[in-house]
Structure 1
């Protein structure tokens, strides 16, 4: 004869189910925390006014020349990066980032390649320093000053043809016997051959002129190179220092150059307006593309800017992603940037080019 089944009290059953659910949720939460994924999160970072104001000191200091009061904001924008080879993000971070329209998820390899976080940090620091030096020269030249320069080997890659033959700091003066006067002409002259072909590099070290014959290698996409990173070395007429803190990379170059120009010229360029922007700056004043522009526009908007200067070469990433209330102006060189700031200051910005229409 079958014994009747004893039923547990309803409260005990509910408590048991709650306990099981809590255990399962804890397991899921822990799994999401400890499971790591090889992605990087890019999100809007701080916005910094190069000319100071609102209680913040100016980032640009000048010694040996007259400076003028500034007003308004000429701010550079940044992207905050989470994740990397030394600290993979968790599954939860990935999930929350996936649901956030203001951030971007990228495969770790796409950002870091085979480099460590420290190596990327060092490279970004070097690019920031080079960007500042060029920005000072471009800003000075825009005021009518003469700033001569030479081209130097900023870095020599290990294991590449130039390793052991050229040194960081060498002034590059010729390629195959032809004089070269800037980094672009050096790179173009070396690349004008098939990888594996020889090239003669003329250089000056400690005042002594010499040359070396190297066998080129493929530096990517079938381009010939010898494994040196080039940058200008300037002879400034006076000293200008830019203190950007621990920010790295070259993308603030254009805004630094605008800040230098504003500091060295009478009257505030901005007319008191809040202008932010991004873009690399080359020795000839060209403004180049940068990464993370959508996050930078969001950061600029959240930081109070109402105008944003964007490289023309980034327009495909800008169109359709501009935050409400932010007006984006497209620029291709430093002349465009100064014209845009002047027009915004004067209230005549209606005809400025945008990324939606020329």
Structure 2
């Protein structure tokens, strides 16, 4: 007689239940995967409220583009150079009319040569792309003029400057006494032929002192013998507490003894000023100062010869080394952003003035750059 067998009436159902649970799990995972895919796909399309900054093109100010020299000097002897002085730029995506998606933003966050910022931190609200381009071109034109002025002054040229009144600022001691287009001619009897003349004189006058301005009225500027009018008022204090200021906004009209033309497309803003000035100086200086070296840089240029800070310097460093530069001239006021972000193979030199930048170019050209100042924490102009 056979032994009795245990019998489980549900034994046959267990594989079916396991298969059903497995099928449900697979279906859930499949649906979740599809949802995630659709979300990610949507993020790749939906515009993101961010701006991505990346290395832009660099341009040799001693070279040419579209068969035309970037810098052309007329009315003077010029000299060839074997090196390069490359201005650097930043590529910006995400501005008005050029939105980016979240996929691009994610890539920008993880790229060491890129930076991602909220759009409102970069562009004013409701500004259009056309307005941005107009502003950039205006800043570029001013930058080129100031670069030309500073370069020619460094080389010893006499550059006469007409100081046109743009407006009197609120609270100015001369408010209501000058009109737009009037031209300043004297200060306390001393002739003013440049912006530096004006500032130098004001720096010697204690704040609150009476000053007398000589000026030519706007409608008499082009007259053969214009009448010089005089007005007097107590000066206001300079921002740093030394010397005086007038509270007058000026437009400078330069009379250059040498004709300099700068031709460059699709580049705007003021940050190429220093490199334009260095390119002009090299063109007008006998000998080959760059001597085969590829030197990049950035920085604004004012009529006092000071190199000003700029935006996007980290991206410019990467653009410079990408295009073969071994040295980079950086505004000293940007040094805190430079430290820790210098690509391999690039030596950064900190400069505060055009004189310092030109001295650096000459020393790099002859291989005597070991003692040139580099960026250090808290570096400031002297």
Pairwise CA distance, 1:121: 2.2
Give distance in 2, aligned partners of 1:177 and 1:110: 47
Secondary structure of the residue aligned to 2:87 is: strand
Relative to the length of structure 2, the TM-score reads 0.73
Who is 2:81 aligned against? 70
Give distance in 2, aligned partners of 1:102 and 1:237: 42
Who is 1:300 aligned against? 320
Aligned counterpart in structure 1 of residue 375 of structure 2, from 343, 346, 355 = 355
Determine if the alignment matches structure 1 residue 109 to structure 2 residue 120: yes
Pairwise CA distance, 1:177: 11
Who is 1:29 aligned against? 41
- Equivalent pair of 2:43/2:101 in contact (CA under 8 Å): no
Task: Quickly say closer, same or farther: Cα 1:288–1:13, change in 2 above 3 A.
Answer: closer
Who is 1:126 aligned against? 138
Determine if the alignment matches structure 1 residue 144 to structure 2 residue 164: no
Relative to the length of structure 1, the TM-score reads 0.78
- Equivalent pair of 2:147/2:277 in contact (CA under 8 Å): yes
Pairwise CA distance, 1:225: 9.9
- Stretches of structure 2 that go unaligned for 5 or more consecutive residues are 1-9, 233-244
1:248-305: CA deviations, max 9, x gaps? 1111111101100111121122011000111111112111111111111111011110
Q: Which has the larger radius of gyration?
A: 2
Give distance in 2, aligned partners of 1:120 and 1:178: 41
**Residues 15-24 or 268-277, more deviating:** 15-24
**Residues 327-336 or 52-61, more deviating:** 52-61
Determine if the alignment matches structure 1 residue 282 to structure 2 residue 310: no
RMSD: 4.3
Who is 2:331 aligned against? 311
- Equivalent pair of 1:134/1:232 in contact (CA under 8 Å): no
1:1-358 matches, cutoff 5 A: 18=30, 21-22=33-34, 24-37=36-49, 39-52=50-63, 57-114=68-125, 116-117=127-128, 118-152=130-164, 166-167=179-180, 171-172=183-184, 181-182=194-195, 185=199, 204-206=217-219, 207=221, 230-356=250-376
* Count of residue correspondences: 342
Give distance in 2, aligned partners of 1:86 and 1:225: 41
Secondary structure of the residue aligned to 1:112 is: coil
Secondary structure of the residue aligned to 1:33 is: coil
Secondary structure of the residue aligned to 2:33 is: helix
- Equivalent pair of 1:136/1:240 in contact (CA under 8 Å): yes
Give distance in 2, aligned partners of 1:42 and 1:152: 37
- Equivalent pair of 2:56/2:90 in contact (CA under 8 Å): yes
Pairwise CA distance, 1:241: 0.2
Task: Quickly say closer, same or farther: Cα 1:311–1:20, change in 2 above 3 A.
Answer: closer
Pairwise CA distance, 1:21: 2.8
